[in-house]
Every structure is written in C-alpha cells, then in structure tokens.
A and B are shown apart, each in its own frame.
Chain A
Amino acid sequence: MSVLRQKLTALFGLLGKADETARKLPLHQHPDIERISRGLPLHGPRLMKRKGPGTEFFEARAYAQGDDPRRIHARLSARRDEPIVIEKEAEIRQHFYMWRDDRPSMDFKSAKASCSPRQAADIMLLALSKHIARNDERVGLLEGTRLTQGGRAAEWMATQMAELPDNQSGAPAIRGNLVHNSCAVLFSDFMMPLAQIEKTLDRLQASGVSGWLVMVADPQLIEFDFKGDTLFYGLNGEGEKNFEKAESPNLRRNYQKELKSHIEAVDQMARRKGFEFILQRTDEELFKGLRAIYNLEPKIPATIMKLGL
C-alpha cells in the first residue's frame, strides 16, 4: 500500500474507508501511527546530573593539572582572572523498552469504543516507537533481545511483536539483559492483582529501569453501564458473578469506588518503584496518553477522581 494512499486516507478523513484500509494494512502502516507520532514533542538526550560528554552546561571550575588547555573558557577566565574550565552535563541516549499485555481481556470492546484496548495499545506503542527512533534513540521490546533505531523502527517493532510467543500471563517475559537507566513503557488494562504488578515493577527496578504504566481502558470498564439480570464472566478465566439488577445505581457506585481504589493503589505503587501511571480511555484520542508521557496532558483524567462519589 503506497504512502500516498495512506496520507490521502488520513487527510480526507474517510473514517469508514480509513478503518477498512487500516485493517487491511500491516499494523505498522496504520494511518494513526504516523499522525500520533508527529503530534509528540521532540526531546533531547537525557541528562545524567553529573559531568560528562554533552551539550548542556553543568558547572564552571578552575583549571586543574591534566585538563586539556583547549577547554579553557576565555571570557570566563578573563572575568575571574584565572583559568576556568566549563564542565558539560553528561548526556546519554535513552533506551526504551515496550511491552503490551497479551491477555484475552485486552480484546474486550464495548459499543462505546471504536477499538479494543489491544488495538489501541498497539497503535500507541508503534507511534511512540517511531517517535523515539526518529529522535535517534533506541527502542525495542521488553520481551525481545535487541533494540533498534532509525526510520524503520515501527516496522521492525511490529515484526518483532508478531514473532513473539504467546504470553497470556499478564507479566512481561524478559529474556535479554536490560540496559541500565533505560525506560520502559508498559501497556495493559492492569485489571490484575496488585501483587502481580508489583512483582513486574520490582524486576524492572532491579535492572535500573524506570518508566510509565499506561492503562488502556474500555469506557465500560469505567462507566459500568449495564442493565438487567446479567451474568458477568472474566475473559481471563477469573470466574463469573450474577447481578439481577445490573442497572442498580448502588452497584455502579460501589463498583466505581472499587475501580478508583485499584487505580489509586496502582498509581502509588508505580511511583514508589520509579514509574508513572497514565490512564488512556479507548474512546478518546490515543495521542493524549502518549503526550501525558511528555507531561503535556494530565496523566489521569479528573473524572476518574470523581468516580464512586
């Protein structure tokens, strides 16, 4: 499928056709990926808060024996009347690791959403990967063994994802060694026991990895808008439970209270382990969640905080 056609489809906003075309496209050529990735801000290398090779100013100190005389800063030396050397802040090119939950619950799609959490997570993951690679940084899969950079990152990532073995455990199966001080972005609905999430985060923290937890949620997961005598069942084999009046306001309120507690608990745990928690609804624009990584959007919508009240 030509790039021209992609652009045309995205440009004219032929939604139905776009969806259809998108579905027929290989994943990495989904029109939204390019659009979203271009909506993310450029960012520079990460500063290390110590002196080292870089471009950002770190400190100015007196010339010491052994320093390269070419590093003497003329103007500052003249001002201070002694030889001064500028130290730069050490920069490091980031390494990013991506992971997307593969459990069946990620396929749950209600009528209110236009795509399932799995599809949303895939698009966000590839858009972010494309953006990172475009910034000369390296990106790879948490469950993979290599990292890549450059223009064809999205395609490479998609291929890698397709080649991964099934993992419906809800935790990443980390194979290779992770680069110290790298970043990880984990996409999931995080509807799992806290202990399981904590285990994953501990593992990552031990490898020196920090990052973001992106909860991709279907609107019904948050709103719980059901009616009638309903037998709910879990998609991951959790079991089932019957409620005779699913529309009951009490039931909805109590459920949302539980959901809010769970989100808060995950958020606090993430912070303790060096991660940030972001909530992305599948009925909202997917770039919002990614821009939240860059602090350009709220990480958790204000409405979530009002749940259960």
Chain B
Amino acid sequence: MDHIPSQPPVKSSRGPFTLAAGTAAAAAATNAQAYALGPVAGTFAPWMLLAVPAVVGLWWLMKSIPLKPIRQAFPGISLLFKLESEEKTPKRIPWWQYIPITLASAALVGALTRPELNPQAPLPGSGPVMLVVDNGWAAARQWQARHDQMQQLINRAEREGRPVMILPTAAPDDGSPVKVQGPLSPAEARQIALQMKPLPWPADREGALESLTALQADKPSAIVWLSNGLNDKAARPLSEKLASMGQVTILEDAPADSARLLLPPETGTGKMTVTVKRSHTGTQDDVQIVAVDESGKPIDQATATFKPGASETQASFNLPPEISNELARLSIAGEPSAAATVLLDERWRRRPVGVIANAQNNAAQPLLNESDYIDQALNPYVDLHQGPVDELLKRKLAVLVMTDAAAVGKAQSLKIDQWVQEGGTLLRFAGQRLAAQETLDQSLLPLKLRQGARTLGGNVSGGKEGKLAPFPSTSPFAGIPLASHITIKQEVLPQPGADNDENTWARLQDGTPLVTARKHGKGQIVLFHTTADPAWSNLSLSGTFVDMMRAVVASSQGVAGKLENTDISLPPLKTLDGFGRFGAPGAGARPLTAEALAQNQIGPQHPPGYYGNESLRQALNLSASITTIQPLGAMPDSVLRKTYAIGQKERDLTGALLGGALGFLLLDLLIVLYQRRSHKGPDKTPARKAPKPEAGS
C-alpha cells in the first residue's frame, strides 16, 4: 500500500458537494492510508470502522424500544380481566434482521474511504494542469475516447484542487487564432470540454506553439497532450516546448484506431476508383466504402483491403453511367470524419454526349469517319451516343456534336435550334461542306463565316503553317497544355470583324480564330474552324484535342457565371463538420474563389463542403488538401507516451456506495413496515367516563 503524503485541506470548486473535501481533509488530518483491492483503490483511516458499531448500535436501540400496542375498545373487557396473557415473548430481534443494517453501515464506511474503480495515477506536480487537444479532422474517428479522457483528467484535477488550462490546436471556426484558455476552474474547464468538437481542418500546431510562447500565466506542471497521432513539422518543436514547462504525457490512438483518409477519385475519367490512406502500416485491414446519392440512399459499396505493411489501398465502383451520375458522396463506412468523406460534383459525372451519325458514315473505313475521332477523344470520359438527330434529341444530352459530314435537314435544324435555346451545347466542326456553304445556316453557327476555307502553309500565307497560340485566360481551354506539333493546315474564317475576344476560345498564332462560341438562349454553340478528322489538321490526333473536347463538355452547364471567370466567387452552400455531417456554414466561412478552389485551401474560411448555388455547385474536399499522413515521430525522452484507454473509465464509487447504504436502510424500513402491517388502526369507538350512580333502584 502506498502511503500518500498529507495534503493541505482542499477547497473544492463545486460548492454543495463538500463531503468529498471534508472527508479528504479529515482523512488527511488523521494520516489516512491508501489501499488497493483489485481494481478499486481509496484512502482508509481506522476511525472509519467505528461507523459500523455506531450505526448498528443506534439501530438496535431504536428497535429495542417497544412499539405502542393498538388500543381496542371491547365490551367484554370484564371477561378478559379473568384471563392471563400467556405468551410473554421477550422482544428479541431475529438474527437475519441485522443483515440489512450491517450492510448499510458497511457501505457507509466504504463510501467514507472514497474508493475509485480503475484509478489512474495522480497527476505529477502541484501546479495547473494543461490539456493540449488536437481537435482537427484526425480526432473525429475516436472523439469519444478523447472526450472521456478529458473529463477524467478534469475530474482528477478537481479532486487534487488544481486549475486547468486547455489548448485546442485547431483554429476555431470563427477564424480567430489558436489560443490557450485558462487557468480555469474545473467546472469551467468541464463546460469547455463538453462543447469541444473536432473541426474539419488540420490542427495548427505552429499556432499552438506561438500561443504557448506568449503564455503569461503560471506554467503548468502536468501536461497531457491528447494528440491525433499524426506528425507534422511543428510536432517536435511543440513537444519540446511543452517538456520545458512540465511533465508531458502524450496520448495517441492505438494503430487500429488511427485516422484514415479517403481521397477523391480522378475527375473526368468516368471511373470511380478511390484511394484510402492510413498513418499506421501494420496488419491487414478491410475498409468499406459506401457510395450514396443526393438523398443519402446507399447506391453501392466497395471494399478496399490494406495489405500488411501498406499505407494505402484502392477500391473501385463499377456502375453504369446513369447510376454513377447520381452519386453525390463517398464515405468510409462507420467512420464519422470529414476526411473519410468525399463530396462529388459535376466534375465526376460522365455527361451524355450525342454525335450525329448518318447512314453515309463509312463503317468499313473507320479512319475516315470524323465521328470516330470524336469518339476516341471523348469516350472514356463521357457517355457517348451516336445516331440520327431525331433519335439523339429524344435523350437528355449535354452536348450535341455535329461534324461536317452530318447532313441535317431544315426541320432537324429547327429542332436543334430549339434544343440549344433550352440549354444544350452544340459543337460543330468545319469541313468542305461548311466551307462551300452548302449547309450554311446562321442560326447554327456562332458567327458569320466567309465562304471558302483558308489554306495555311501555302504560298498565300507566306509558308507558315498555323500554330496554336496559348489559350486566353477567359477561355474554357485556359490552362490546357499545348502540344507543340499541332499544325492547322486549313480552316474556315469568320466575316471580318465578326470575331472578338469574348466569343473566341482559341486562336492561331497569327490571331485568326480557331474555336469560337456564342450563347444562344440558355445554351451555346461552339465551332471548331477545322475538321474533326486529320483532313485539315492534326489537332484531332493530339492530347490537346482530348482536353479541349473535355473542356467543351465541362462548359456545357448552360448557366451564367462560368468557372473560367476568375472574378466570380462561390458562396458556401452547405459545409461539413468534423464528423462529416452537413450543416449551415460556420461563422468564419467565406466565398470560394477559383484560386482557392484550384489550390484546395481548407480552413476556417473554407471548410469542406459545397460552394456555389444549387444549379452550379463545386465540391471542396478536405482529403484532397492532405498529401500524406504520418504517425507521430520521436519525442523528447522526458515525454511519456500512452494510448487512449477506451472503455476503462475511472469511476468514483462513493456515490454508488452511499446509494447502496440508502437502499439497505430502505430494505430495513420495508421489513419493519411489513411486520407492522397486521396492526389495524386504533378503534374509533369513544370510551366514556365511569357510569353515573344507579337511578331509581
């Protein structure tokens, strides 16, 4: 048994419950000894034993006083006077009646020793206690364990009469910096701990380090760092700073409980393959990924398996395009965390695209078909359909591709016109027929064209073959790398002055437009001034063509405020909290700029979630901004490292024992009541005074 040193009487901050303080003081004053019985430990002083005989003695005394008998009027009393009551029972209490009262006093004595179940070691030192809490995204998975641990530490600090300081390492959602809170009373600390939640951005350990450096108050002597188990460049400096202030204990998750990351699938590939990462490599582990639609209904499930020693793995969803287009969200099953959730938007959807194909298409000679080059460029990324116009327009299409060979009649072109005005994107390619103005129909072109085609590389153009100029920043093609070998040999030209910066998406180096576009109603018409096949240029053989085609498809959203306009910023629609649940945007959330989107800047200003409006929304995913996750590295020697004790809560049994004592006393009372049940109430017949002397005899 350890002999704990006497401590001065403590002032408990919880006013009404002073039994704890009083008993602690009394125990301390009489040199109480600590004891341990299995998982239970407490302090015991010999005088406590006196409680047992005291209580039992008092009880015996009360029971020895005889009960008042029931008063009963009886007319035959004169006959009773002739009788002797035979059974003079000595008022002895049966042995079993001693049991409840003895147990009650034993429970009372037990409560006086303040026993604790699964007691933890007392906190080192005697100054304030500091809790450093990593409450970033990585804490969400095992948040309950952290929460319980905080409560236990605060309880322990309260018992030892020490103030508490709390340092959450993730920036608060109102955007203010990380700051030490305290010194606080245990009650205040408990309140703060109760309201603490994991936040959907990484912990800011540098900010924590700064706030520690600026700390003016008493230095804490016992520091517990409830870490998220992940390493970053500020982890070691922070631990060294903490170690310089007091005794540090770091709590980490067990490897099986450490945080995991679900990375978004690649966009535009049409495939749904996700990568899952973990910080600890160790045993084999299976992870379920669930795909749900907008309403939260699960659509599909895939399993990813970590091999032993691997820190990442993959899983794929094989769904037909109609179904995969409905997916809104992917998440790791059973892991409520913003990093285990991926929100999907249009970028991951395969859009339906129709290519007008006539009977003339030469199926036997695929390389001669323009539509085949379209197919090659778009097919992995979109849901491609080929057929006559009437058939295609029956479907819901995002883009309708009209190659030069496509022969479209008057009625059909009216239908196409109608369709574009309703929001569709018409993508046309130039060629011999367009140049010859056989099918010239201004309503289906972005601008007026000149008849004929311009040939580059011939004598007229001075021998230069057309090279593409870099795409303007206002163009949907902005940022697409140009392959240097692309040359345009022939193209159609607009009427002089018809082209301008607004409607030109791509130009040649000499300034002539290559791709023009015009809004028409709710939709748009896009024209490539060259052919879709290699007849007039080798554009369609290049990777640039693929990117350009995808950009046209991506631009087919038909709403004002396209993303290529960097001045537009998207307001937050709904954001995720640390547990991956949707909610209203927090106090510090700001609209998302295109730059922030491109760089995936996650923080209190841009929490993960949906930005924009209902018809044009962009998903900002937390996991896309996290490159690697590593376990916490080496720490200074004086630092103790432990894992969270899940389920092994330290419990104060005093209350339970007092309740038990009360229960036994109630049992004793019930026994007494049962024994008295046969006593009916006193007879109410009034007794009169002695009779008057006889009259008239």
Contacts and interface: CB of A to CB of B under 8 A. Distances in A.
Interface of A: 103-105, 107-109, 143, 165-175, 189, 191-193, 199, 203, 218, 220-221, 224, 226-246, 248, 250-251, 254-255, 258-259, 262
Contact of A242 (B73, B85, B694): B85
Interface stretch (B166-174, B352-360, B545-553, B683-691): B683-691
A104 B86 CA distance: 30
B697 A171 contact: yes
Contact of A191 (B75, B685, B689): B75
Interface of B: 67, 69-83, 85-89, 678-680, 685-697
Q: Classify the interface of chain B: helix, strand, loop or mixed.
A: loop
A171 B80 contact: no
A228 B679 contact: yes
B478 to A, nearest CB: 101
Contacts of B86: 248, 250-251
B693 to A, nearest CB: 7
Contact of B691 (A168, A220, A251, A255): A168
Quick one: which of B67, B75, B693 has the most chain A CB within 10 A? B75
Contacts of B680: 227
Contact of B70 (A109, A231, A258): A231
Contacts of B85: 242-245, 248, 251
Contacts of B77: 232-234, 238-241
Nearest to B693: A169
Given A233-B77, A255-B80, A259-B76, A169 B71 contact: no
Contacts of A109: 685
Contacts of B72: 226, 230-233, 246
Given A227-B678, A234-B78, 5 more contacts: A104-B686, A189-B75, A192-B78, A218-B75, A231-B69
9 contacts: A108-B74, A221-B76, A228-B678, A234-B73, A235-B74, A235-B75, A244-B88, A251-B83, A258-B83
A231 B72 CA distance: 6
Nearest to B73: A235
A191 B69 CA distance: 24
Contacts of B694: 169-171, 173
A203 B697 contact: yes
A231 B685 contact: no
Contact of A174 (B67, B71, B678, B696): B696
A223 to B, nearest CB: 11
A233 B71 contact: yes
A218 B69 CA distance: 23
A236 to B, nearest CB: 6
A136 B667 CA distance: 72
A228 B676 CA distance: 9
Nearest to A189: B75
Nearest to B690: A237
Contact of A255 (B70, B71, B76, B692): B76
Contacts of A224: 76
A205 to B, nearest CB: 14
Interface centre among B76, B685, B690, B693, by most chain A C-beta atoms within 10 angstroms, is B76
A168 B71 contact: no
Contacts of A168: 688, 691-692
Nearest to B71: A231
Contacts of A236: 75, 688, 690-691
Contacts of A174: 696
Contacts of A232: 72-74, 77, 80
A222 to B, nearest CB: 9
Given A175-B696, A234-B687, A255-B83, A108 B73 contact: yes
A173 B695 contact: yes
B81 to A, nearest CB: 6
A169 B695 CA distance: 7
Contacts of B689: 237
A234 B685 contact: no
Given A175-B696, A191-B75, A235 B688 contact: yes
Contacts of A173: 694-697
Contacts of A229: 67, 69-70, 679
A242 B87 CA distance: 12
A80 B695 CA distance: 61
A169 B693 CA distance: 6
A246 B683 CA distance: 15
Contacts of B696: 143, 172-175
Given A104-B687, A244-B85, A167 B75 contact: no
B82 A258 contact: yes
Nearest to B694: A169
A172 B696 CA distance: 8
Contacts of A226: 72
Nearest to A246: B72
B75 A221 contact: yes
Contacts of B693: 169
Nearest to B67: A229
Contacts of B83: 251, 254-255, 258
Contact of A244 (B78, B79, B82, B89): B89
A244 B87 contact: yes
B679 A248 contact: no
Contacts of B82: 258
A138 B85 CA distance: 50
Nearest to B696: A173
B687 A237 contact: yes
B73 A169 contact: no
A57 to B, nearest CB: 43
A144 to B, nearest CB: 12
Complex A-B, nearest 8 residue pairs according to Cβ-Cβ distance, in ascending order = A173-B696, A237-B690, A234-B77, A169-B694, A105-B75, A104-B688, A229-B69, A173-B695
Most chain A Cβ neighbours within 10 Å, of B67, B71, B685: B685
A236 B696 CA distance: 19
B79 A107 contact: no
A205 B693 CA distance: 23
Given A171-B697, A173-B696, A231-B71, A237 B76 contact: no
A242 B687 CA distance: 16
A97 to B, nearest CB: 14
A235 B687 contact: yes
Contacts of A243: 80, 85
A241 B81 contact: yes
Nearest to A111: B680
Nearest to B74: A232
A235 B74 CA distance: 7
Nearest to A247: B678
Contacts of B80: 232, 241, 243, 255
B69 A242 contact: yes
A220 B73 CA distance: 11
A215 to B, nearest CB: 11
B378 to A, nearest CB: 97
Nearest to B85: A243
Contacts of B74: 108, 220-221, 232-235
A177 to B, nearest CB: 13
Nearest to A168: B691
A70 to B, nearest CB: 50
A234 B691 CA distance: 12
Contacts of A218: 75
A199 B76 CA distance: 21
Contact of B75 (A234, A241, A248): A234
Contacts of B78: 191-193, 234, 238
A282 to B, nearest CB: 12
B69 A237 contact: no
B67 to A, nearest CB: 7
Contacts of A231: 69-72
B70 A191 contact: no
